[in-house]
Chain A
Amino acid sequence: MPNILMPALSPTMEEGKIAKWLKKVGDPVKSGDVIAEIETDKATMEVEAVDEGPLTAILIPEGTENVKVNTPIAVIGEADALSPPALRATSPVKGEEKSGAPPLSSPLAGEVASRSGAGGGPTPTDPEIPAGTEMVSMTVREAIREAMVEEMRRDKDVFLMGEEVGQYQGAYKISQGMLDEFGPERVVDTPITEHGFTGIAVGAAFGGLRPIVEFMTFNFAMQAMDHIINSAAKTLYMSGGQMGCPIVFRGPNGAAARVAAQHSQDYAAWYAQIPGLKVVMPYSAADAKGLMKAAIRDPNPVIFLENEILYGKSFEVPKLDDWVVPIGKARVARAGKDVTIVAFGIGMTYALAAAEKLAAEGIEAEVIDLRTIRPMDIATVVESVKKTNRCVAVEEGFPQFSVTSEIAAQVMTHAFDWLDAPVARVAGKDVPMPYAANLEKLALPNADEVVAAAKGVLYV
């Protein structure tokens, strides 16, 4: 008797909730029947049966949360002797077929899934958190939403615009519930027209508002690049200081999983090159929340680079009325004396995993989370390198003319005499992101590459 498995309904889904069973035990099931509703981290989806027969058992009752992908959730009996070999559930939205294969072949997903919280080793106390502060567990998704909601309550000139931010409740559910609280004037659904709505948002900022522009992903922001660079970033200078542009451009950036070249690019280096922009790329939920609040309050255009794979990850966030993390300040995420590993955003997952592996071999790595790419807190990096005399820089983006190239140049300039080895870099490979699972895995950096780079600069 074939099992119905919990389907993966998005490229990064790892678990979901059985929201509702639409068939009960004993009901006949035909191919195409909607048998259940499943809530993912992005949306509520209907699950259709592919094969036919009576529903003989429901293994996971409705209302159950955190059901892992590929867990058997129901059993369909033999309809006749010609029953097909496997049952599959399909997503009615994307029409993707999910079979018994692992839902995520990306090495990234595996890396992240194996880790929770802010990573293995001891984490130095963030100096910005007052002692005795209560910590609450929160996903990055919830953290970003909380930051926007708090700032919109605080300042009526702050509004959110983008594709599907309102009625759809956010393509990645970041803005879930915000339409209900703030109404369509402040949670503005746009047509699919990045160039146009970005220009309108920049104009609204010139007109005295504080827009938050959500790009469904930063890949689509290339359509709007002219307004981000030429209109938002440069006008203050060209107006002799008259025309400030307080605006946040935010959304998922970088590789998700199995979405191939046009949907998998890290733009950190692109934006970080532009005077007039600030570029923020948080890793943890605490930083995502605190930096988002800082970004919204900042009187300048801020590029806020999120990551789809990190959205569902939980971290400890300080429970404070007004948790704001300053833009431009790196954080020592793990203390160590032997080698400095500098990373940011999802690169931190590789850095922290590598530090853990290195620790097992007796090598103490100091991991620095840049948090902000521009302005870059190179002082914190240099201070660490002066202690460890070795540096590995990590990012997912393309290797040429990259953030890690800049780190290497800065460390050479400011800490040349302290270096015992050239700065090593671990980056995405210099190829468009492939779709095939094995090639995608090769294109992305991983913890072992960071370990190898660290050993390289240690000459061990």
Chain B
Amino acid sequence: MRPDPHHKIHPNAIPAWRLSDGASSLTWYFLPILTFTFWYTGAIPLWPTFVLAGLCVVNTIFMMTIVPVIRWKRWRYEINGHEIYLKYGIIVIRKVLIPASRIQNVDTAQGPIFRHFGLSSVTITTAATTHEIPALDDETADAVRNTISVLAREADQDV
């Protein structure tokens, strides 16, 4: 069995994920708010609100503590002249192999939180699938993007 991909993503990913995952976990709070309004209009009892609110708080705590750490530990990538090799996943482990000759597009992107931590993500598109390497530092991301786009240009253009 081939060893895992060599590189880890940037450790700043952990605090960045703490913020972004924590923030996106807030969307789940609409559920207890919804049940609360139902309780207010007298349609249902109060306890579902407490249960859901509790679950939401637990979720947020998880998202801000151990989830980013595990995700960072599991994320591995490797790019060489011929293919891109990724391994990631918290519960479900995925290994992905993308032949460089099949790559059609490479983009880098940076949201406000990632910018604060000096991170970018690289998105790789083939004719069928899209893959993302999250949280590389800016220089690595640019280097990766340039490497891949050179590889992709050299490869034959046929699908």
Report whether chain A binds chain B: no
**Taking beta carbons and an 8 Å cutoff, which residues of A are in contact with B?**
none
